[in-house]
Amino acid sequence: MKELVEGFHRFQQSLSKSERESFKKLAGGQNPLALFITCSDSRIDPNWITQSKPGDLFILRNAGNIIPPYGASGGGEAATIEYAVANLGVKEIIVCGHTYCGAMQALLSGPESVADLPAARAWLGHAEATRRITRENYAHLEGNSLLTAAVQENVLVQLENLRTHPVIAAGLVRGTIKLYGWVYKIDKAEVFAYVPGRGQFLALPEHPSVPIPSAMQLAVKRII
């Protein structure tokens, strides 16, 4: 806690006049560029990896960047998504997984790995499609390669779950909502974006981020 308090004081002392003015403007409301859905993992910082400023991103975080299908959970995910789109007018949504994800590792390891964590066990049930897709299509992989495949497939599965939310479904029909699938590679500080036409996650500098079309194939052809 000492480090956090000291950091806060350094933050206040380092604020420039223009930065203070920006915060005053933010007090009047927000107009985020995108809804960024990612994992709670402490190694992921959405604002840092996108070099965005306060007010730019509306962020939803949870274990495994999981989006339960609409009506399947009493959590706050549905409310956050609804508010971002209907009230804040967000038009671009990014689901961002990451390598070395503990939630995906637990998912692959089976219920016994979270036997003493009943809430976590129930939560991972919303990624059952990820577990089954990975098990049935990547039996030739093991270790970190298998985990990375699960991370990638989970991004695609959660994008499909996202489509079940009425506010998203309506926006997709109108063409006002764009969905993106990213994976952040922790050890290289690189982002890979899913490119539907290629069926692959490609390095972001190599290929612009492409929105996911209304119908998509839940299959990843290349492991990053």
Render the burial of 2-27: b for 16+ CB within 10 Å, e for the rest.
Answer: eeeeeeeeeeeeeeeeeeeeeeeeee
DSSP string, 6-48: HHHHHHHHH--HHHHHHHHHHTT----SEEEEEE--TT--HHH
Q: Could you tell me if 161 and 212 are in contact, meaning their C-beta atoms sit under 8 angstroms apart?
A: no
Residue range 176-206, pLDDT digits in tens? 999 999 999 999 999 999 998 888 899 886 6
Q: What is the pLDDT of residue 20?
A: 82
CATH assignment, 31-203: 3.40.1050.10
Residue type, 224: I
Q: What is the pLDDT of residue 37?
A: 98
Q: What is the pLDDT of residue 157?
A: 96
What is the domain partition of the chain in residue ranges? 31-203
Q: What is the pLDDT of residue 137?
A: 94
Residue range 34-68, pLDDT digits in tens? 999 999 999 999 999 999 999 999 999 999 999 99
Q: What is the pLDDT of residue 192?
A: 94
Q: What is the pLDDT of residue 216?
A: 47
A 10 A CB-CB count for 104 gives: 31
Structure tokens at 97: 């997984």
pTM for the complete prediction? Answer: 0.88
Which pairing describes strands 178-185 and 190-195: parallel, antiparallel, or unpaired? antiparallel
Low-confidence ranges of the chain (pLDDT < 70): 205-210, 212-224
Q: What is the pLDDT of residue 218?
A: 44
What is the rounded distance in angstroms from the CA atom of residue 162 to the CA atom of residue 84? 13
